Amino acid sequence: MNIVKKLFGFVEDYLSIVMRVVLTFAVSIILIYTLVTAVSGYMMSNKQPTVKTGANGANYSSIEELIFPKQVSVQDDEEEDEEEEEVERVYDPKIEAIYESMSLHFKDGRANRDQFKENFKPENLEAIMLTIVKGEYSLGGLSRSAFPRNAKCSSGDRFPEIAAMREPIEGDQVNLALAMGITEEDIDALNDSIRQDEREYQRFLSQLADFWEDAEPRGSLPSQYESITSYRQREATVWATNDLFLCGWIKSQDALDAENAQSEADAKSANNEGDRKLMTVGASLVAVFTFFAAFALVLLSIILVRIEGHLRK
């Protein structure tokens, strides 16, 4: 009986200490877990998808065999007549570079080079480029039957819009826009969008100029296009080559769109997981406060029992 009394007294004396130690460890673990979960949940719930931009056209070396399955050498015994043309207007240097590269495939007498100069001018090329970047061009529109059937794209595939090619709001147009109720913030946002379109248009032209530079005949070798004696067919083949560059751009953009869609899905999943973790944090805090309340009741009961014991003595 004395042993039981001593054991009970030991438990009574040291119970509060044991409970404080247990409480300290429990609360510390719960608070650390809650803090980590809260930080992780907040970061995940605010995760934004990574958007990739910057599609690229095909390289000439990758599409050359689609146009010319075998290398064809054609001797050109006719000398070229160098004529200086009077420049009537100034074009984008990249447009002029593309035009000059294309013209090198019409220097022989088989497909009359005069037809190229008469039927195809820099202003025509500029108009075609604008049609392409505004998303108003379909593959095969200019190449017709010359478009390769074994290409990765199909004739009739629409080229995506790269730039709307709008004019910025400047000068007197600003006052007119303000009078129409358009805010300065909207004007600045629109002009920023237009400048971004221009940068993308220039990037497109740069890649296309490099593409056609790679297609130029090398050294004394004649152009492979000289094997096509019909002017119309050669012109269509040139545009088929250009369409393959556009096909590469389309496929590159499709790949970027797929990556962006996956990134958006991953971000949405992370947001949902973050929200779930934040809800877990709330539940953990409720558990901590419940534990505090229970501990306070137990501790209060022990104190009251001891006070009663001292009063009796």
> Could you tell me the residue ranges of all domains in the chain?
2-49+267-312, 60-75+87-258
Residue partners of 66: CB distance under 8 A and separation at least 6:
148, 150, 151, 244
* Res 112 pLDDT > 80: no
What are 35-58's pLDDT values in tens digits?
A: 777 777 777 777 777 766 777 777
Q: How confident is the model at residue 19 (pLDDT cuts 50, 70, 90)?
A: low
Whole-prediction pTM: 0.69
* Res 82 pLDDT > 60: no
Q: Could you identify the residue written with the tokens 């237009």?
A: 194
Residue 168 CA to residue 188 CA, distance in Å, equals: 9
* Res 248 pLDDT > 50: yes
pLDDT for the residue 6: 62
What are 149-200's pLDDT values in tens digits?
A: 889 999 999 999 998 888 888 888 888 888 888 888 988 898 899 999 999 9
pLDDT for the residue 300: 73
Residue 14 CA to residue 151 CA, distance in Å, equals: 84
Q: Which of these, 153, 166, 164, 245, lies nearest to 206 by C-alpha position?
A: 245
Asked if residue 51 lies in contact with residue 259, where contact means CB atoms within 8 angstroms, the answer is no
pLDDT for the residue 14: 65
14 compared with 99, residue with greater pLDDT: 99
What are 194-223's pLDDT values in tens digits?
A: 999 999 999 999 999 999 999 998 877 888
